[in-house]
Structure 1
Amino acid sequence: MNKIEQLRKEILEKVEMYYNAVEDEKESFIPGKTRVSFAGRVYDEKEMVNLVDSSLDFWLTAGRYADEFERRFATKMQQKYCALVNSGSSANLVAFSALTSPKLKAKQLKPGDEVITVAAGFPTTVNPIVQYGLIPVFVDIEITTCNIDTSYLEEALSDKTRAVMLAHTLGNPFDLETVSAFCRKHNLFLIEDCCDAVGSTYNGKMVGTYGDLATVSFYPAHHITMGEGGAVLTKSGSLHRNVLSFRDWGRDCFCGPGSDNTCGHRFDFQFGTLPPGYDHKYVYSHIGYNLKVSDMQASVGVAQLDKLDSFIESRKQNFKILKNHLQQYSSYLILPEATPNSDPSWFGFMFSIVENEHFSRLDIVEHLEDEGILTRQLFAGNLTRQPAYEDVNYRIVRELKNTDYVMKNGIFIGVYPGIDSERMDHMKSSFNRFFQKKGLA
């Protein structure tokens, strides 16, 4: 071992020691005082070691860790291609952008085309539709699954419909069989937003494998994290090339960072009115972005991948414990239901209040928050009621009755792996105290 290798080894050993020292100083859980988050990062010394190891390379942009993550994650998600980006929102933007490419010819999405989606959820599932001048067509949801009510799909269809873009809400797969069949029947693109659903399956297959493109987020709240980060997945080589182009400035070349002449024809092409043999590394076929991830972020993701299966199992188990406990209050709570034929890798435990004379959603939210249990609503609630959408051109199929109900009465709480038995016991006891206080238990 040379001097540099020895120094690196010593540094990484110190990083592991540092992590263990910090862990030893952490305070014990105190019910009612220690906060129980709805989500959070779960990691150990391996993420820290990888992060410092990557920083010592000082490559900074995507490199060896990014290559490893893309390869392994594609396999895990039963996909052929994975392209890392800097966030889940960027993943949605890049995935949608890929369908606006003129290389798709007659199938290219264009301004004025319509895309079927839902208004209940996170805005960046829908924002790319608006940003590219297309028209979102909003369909109502089911209250128990918080996913699209597929009975309205045919009614949502018009001669302008070109795609469907939907998220698997809080890890619960939408009805992929019906939606996929609808898209095949009408020759529509399908983008699956899997940002909350890594590891969820439908009919035994990973979510994300049913559509033309799938997106994932690695924000700290999600199933695995890079701090920031996301990915676009596909089985299509042509769509993957479009994804890479839009991610990487819109360039036509697919060489990786620091690579030259991967295709062997760098100076052999003629593009547009550029001079013959113009350097292919500086030919641009799309109006693109720079949305790459750094190798330091990817290094954290590589360590997280080793934990993914255990994270998924913890989420499922915590969800099951909560649902079993809250069944006793089902007269007042509309509890979540997994979509038929699915096995969700739950992001959160979403429930809605049955409107009654005893308490409101705000009452139970304030109680839980006062006891240190963080709550969240279903993100934007109903996008059509958000200030940002006041001047957006969209279409609503009939009415968004259930969307509004969940917006008004829905709450979700955490099931992430950081919720251990002590925290779970506190959560269960907190619900008991609320219903006892209201004279309903």
Structure 2
Amino acid sequence: MNDRRDLLLDEVRNYHEENRPDREFVPGMTEIWPSGAVLDADDRAALVEAALDLRIAAGASSRMFESRFARKLKRRKAHLTNSGSSANLLAMTALTSPLLEERRLRPGDEVVTVAAGFPTTVNPILQNGMVPVFVDVELGTYNTTAERVAQAVGERTRAIMIAHALGNPFEAAEIARLCEEKGLFLIEDNCDAVGSTYDGQLTGTFGALATVSFYPAHHLTMGEGGCVLTADLRLARIVESLRDWGRDCWCEPGETNKCLKRFDYQLGTLPAGYDHKYIFSHVGYNLKTTDLQAALGLTQLAKLDDFCAARRRNWQRLRDAISGLPHLILPSATPRSDPSWFGFALTVEADAPFSRAELVDFLESRKIGTRRLFAGNLTRHPAYADARYRVSGDLVNSDIVTERTFWVGVYPGLTDEMIDYISSSIKEFVGSKR
């Protein structure tokens, strides 16, 4: 049987090599995506192997990935989820757990976040009945600052939840110190920044909780998937419970009585000895992933360092090529950081002889994919028209991002030739408008 499986997997790898898309790049004809997964024969074989074993629920591969990923990102615990958005929901909801006693967050409490970002960094705040406090960002880094965050903290503020913008770290050390001084929780949305560092320390290791996405656009992919990481074992236990229906039991769903105490508990007003597998200590969800996804994640994880290096290399090549170009605000790393870049952001200056839309249309006409800086100013979207929130200071730069910012790709699937075509196209357009 093992010989037959080995032959099948060898055929899968051969199939992958025989059906790889044409690698020839034709400028103006070949689409240059702003983001995407980079998948090889090992990735395809890993998925097929998991399918052959019918590992259709979370199991050994999921646990192995959690262990290896936590070690890679220097956290004690990692819990896989079905998406990065679910990871954000779990991280914020964990802070409302009764197990945190007087530190738990409650409806009406405030959470500081940025206005210019992706909705799922903010939605869990609202979904838990809390109040987002929006702060502005800096142009160029597209992150907020510790000063802005400090000014936003009020009497009801209990937590801070911010994403590292496009892989560029925010001032994580300073904001973590602020949280320690004020008794606040910090959640790092690290979905775009796996492998980035600030002050030589990995992003995702400054806060009480960190989240990651494995959507195809991100640094690693499982197709769909996400992860919550923490160094706090109590928070890890809460996250696990919330992810797994809210149950109190810590045994894996397929295990019968690994703890040897399955019928020894009395919680709530349940009768003594009630099956611990069916005692619920949180109002939870089912947000687990599967071994099919985790099997892919394991082969992807082995390539993480190479992926991060390619993102840095592509970003720098593009930055060097268009340095000094007029009418554009070029991206810059936050001081003392080393970003593992998600994208390359450009902002058209207010007095430029062209608009963002004109530049984007030109690039798209050349098959160069572009994306907006996510939602821009979230407070301007219809989804939040009736939401309760507070704004600290103004959101001038968030509005500029909404009107004049976009980004192009630097992901590992882009070649030097593609990056050079992007830069030459930008230079050609800007040069024609002087």
TM band (smaller chain): over 0.9
Within-5 A mapping of 1:233-252: 233-252=229-248
Kindly provide the amino acid, as one letter, of the partner of residue 325 in structure 1. Answer: A
Q: Distance in 1 between matches of 2:115 and 2:408?
A: 21
Structure 2 SS opposite 1:433 = helix
How does 1:52-67 map onto structure 2 within 5 Å? 52-67=48-63
SS at match of 1:126: helix
Q: Distance in 1 between the 2:272 and 2:421 partners? A: 70
Amino acid at match of 1:374: G
Q: What residue number does 1:435 align with?
A: 430
Q: Which residue does the alignment assign to 1:164?
A: 160
Q: Distance in 2 between matches of 1:283 and 1:260?
A: 15
Do the aligned residues in 2 keep the contact of 1:63 with 1:257 (CA within 8 Å)? no
Report the count of equivalent residues. 434
CA distance in 1, matches of 2:352, 2:346: 18
Kept after mapping to 2: 8 A contact 1:61/1:257: no
Partner of 1:271 in structure 2?
Answer: 267
Worse overlay, 156-165 or 262-271: 262-271
Helix, strand or coil: the match of 1:366?
Answer: helix
Q: How does 1:63-78 map to 2 (within 5 A)?
A: 63-78=59-74
Partner of residue 12, structure 1: 9
Are 1:199 and 2:195 matched, yes or no?
yes
154-163 or 37-46: bigger deviation: 154-163
Give matches, 1:388-399, under 5 Å. 388-399=383-394
Match of 1:287 in 2: 283
2:412 equivalent among 407, 413, 417: 417
Contact persistence 2:108–2:129 (CA under 8 A)? yes
1:121-152 deviations in Å (ceiling 9; x for gaps):
10000000000100000011111111113222
Counterpart in the other structure of 1:228: 224
Q: Tell me the equivalent position of 1:87.
A: 83
Letter of the aligned partner of 2:35 in structure 1? A
- Percent identity, aligned pairs only, is 51
Output one character per residue of 1:363-422: Cα deviation in whole Å (capped at 9) or x when no partner: 110011001111111101011001100000000012101111111111110000011012
Amino acid at match of 1:427: I
Aligned to 1:370: 365
- Residue of structure 1 equivalent to 2:374: 379
Q: Deviations over 1:72-106 (max 9, x none)?
A: 11111011100000000000001111111011000
Counterpart in the other structure of 1:316? 312
Q: Partners in 1 of 2:421 and 2:352 — Cα distance?
A: 27
Range with bigger deviation, 356-365 or 241-250: 356-365
Cα distance, 1:27 vs structure 2: 5.3
* Contact residue 91 and residue 232 of structure 1 kept, 8 A: yes
Shift of 1:195: 0.2
Q: CA RMSD in A?
A: 1.0
Matches of 1:365 and 1:152, distance apart in 2: 31
TM-score by length of 2: 0.98
2:337 to 332, 337, 342: 342
Aligned to 2:399: 404
Using the alignment, how far apart are the partners of 1:20 and 1:434 within structure 2?
38
Residue matched to 1:31: 27
Equivalences for residues 30-179 of structure 1 within 5 A: 30-179=26-175
**What CA distance in whole angstroms lies between the structure 2 residues aligned with 1:145 and 1:358?**
24
Q: 2:314, 2:416 within 8 Å by CA — same for their partners in 1?
A: no
Distance across 1 between alignment mates of 2:60 and 2:352: 59
Q: How far did residue 357 of structure 1 move?
A: 4.7
| Aligned partner letter, 2:336 | N
Q: Is this contact kept in 1: 2:241–2:284, CA < 8 A?
A: yes
CA contact under 8 A between 2:327 and 2:352: conserved in structure 1?
no
Deviation (angstroms), 1:57:
1.2
Runs of 4+ in structure 1 off by over 4 angstroms are none
Q: How many angstroms apart in 1 are the aligned matches of 2:265 and 2:366?
A: 66
Q: Determine the C-alpha separation between the residues in 1 that align with 2:199 and 2:23.
A: 43
Q: Secondary structure at the match of 1:171?
A: coil
Distance 1:352 1:432 in 2: 14
